[in-house]
């Protein structure tokens, strides 16, 4: 497939804010995915017909916060959910199975969620590189606050003190790609209530702790400041340029 050269890659950025329903945002991502794939299918048909007026596929980057919810990836195991439905009701949390990769994780207030819906054929069609780039965005972001994020071999996400007995995860990641178009993304623990992680085996990994920027820095961290740093580093790592959009779905 011929990739359209339109100079600097463009990404439509949307800050959806707090309290965004998980299913509603998942549906939004699926709608964007379908939109992009439909354009790619039309472009391939044009290419076969010898046409050259290809359409540019859009890219999106969403930042938001969810209410308390546990999500299980398609390769996850239910035994990593330690709480009953009755208990979830008591702590005002819900549970949903998703089509992303990875096992079980928690999303909630004061945790920054990032969902890039990218056509990797506009960047580089390499899922491994894409995941490493997402990790790099977070590593650079938390470095701005004095934290040294690291990768842990075989364990996607961003960690602190890798290789030590007290290694702990600060950012979980899980994605799905279809025809090189990505959905889902990352969850960076800024100031979440970490007790919610006690009711699962996070990411299905035994014996490793979860932490937050608040815990590591011993202070509340401005979500707006973290968002701004994530935006800056995402733009630099992915060599893109934002098109700002309304903060609505």
Tell me the two tokens of residue 163.
Answer: 């290789």
6 pLDDT exceeds 50? no
Residue 205 pLDDT level (bands cut at 50, 70, 90):
low
Question: Which pLDDT tens digit goes with each residue over 40-77?
Answer: 999 999 989 998 889 999 999 999 999 999 998 887 78
| DSSP state string for 95-145 | EEE-SSSSSEEEE-TTEEEEEEE-BGGGS---HHHHHHHHHHHHHHHHHTT
Q: Which of 64, 72, 203, 223 is catalytic?
A: 203
In the chain, % of residues over pLDDT 90: 74
For residue 141, the tally of other CB atoms under 10 A from its CB is: 27
188 pLDDT exceeds 70? yes
Across residues 13-39, what is the average pLDDT?
Answer: 97
What's the pLDDT at 163? 87
What's the pLDDT at 25? 98
What's the pLDDT at 5? 40
Q: Which residue has the tokens 């007026």?
A: 53
Residue 207 pLDDT level (bands cut at 50, 70, 90):
low
Confirm whether 203 is a catalytic residue: yes
Q: Which CATH number fits domain 9-244: 3.30.930.10, 3.90.380.10, 3.40.50.11900, 3.40.50.300?
A: 3.30.930.10
What's the mean pLDDT when you consider all of the chain? 91
- The residues spanned by each domain of the chain are 9-244
């Amino acid at each position: 497939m011929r990739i359209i050269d339109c100079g600097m890659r463009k990404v439509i950025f949307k800050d959806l804010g707090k309290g965004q329903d998980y299913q509603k945002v998942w549906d939004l991502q699926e709608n964007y995915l379908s939109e992009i794939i439909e354009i790619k299918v039309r472009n391939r048909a044009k290419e076969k017909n010898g046409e050259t007026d290809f359409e540019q596929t859009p890219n999106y980057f969403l930042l938001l916060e969810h209410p308390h919810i546990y999500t299980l990836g398609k390769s996850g195991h239910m035994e990593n959910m330690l709480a009953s439905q009755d208990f979830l009701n008591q702590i005002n949390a819900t549970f949903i199975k998703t089509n992303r990769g990875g096992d079980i994780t928690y999303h909630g207030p004061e945790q920054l969620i990032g969902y890039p819906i990218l056509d990797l054929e506009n960047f580089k069609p390499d899922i491994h590189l894409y995941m490493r780039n997402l990790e790099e965005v977070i590593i650079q972001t938390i470095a701005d606050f004095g934290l040294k994020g690291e990768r842990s071999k075989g364990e996607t996400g961003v960690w602190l003190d890798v290789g030590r007995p007290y290694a702990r995860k600060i950012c979980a990641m899980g994605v799905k790609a279809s025809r090189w178009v990505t959905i889902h993304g990352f969850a960076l623990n800024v100031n979440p209530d970490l007790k919610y992680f006690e009711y699962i085996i996070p990411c299905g990994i035994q014996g490793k702790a979860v932490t937050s920027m608040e815990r590591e820095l011993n202070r509340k961290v401005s979500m707006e400041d973290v968002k701004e740093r994530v935006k800056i580093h995402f733009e630099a790592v992915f060599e893109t340029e934002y098109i700002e959009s309304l903060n609505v779905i």
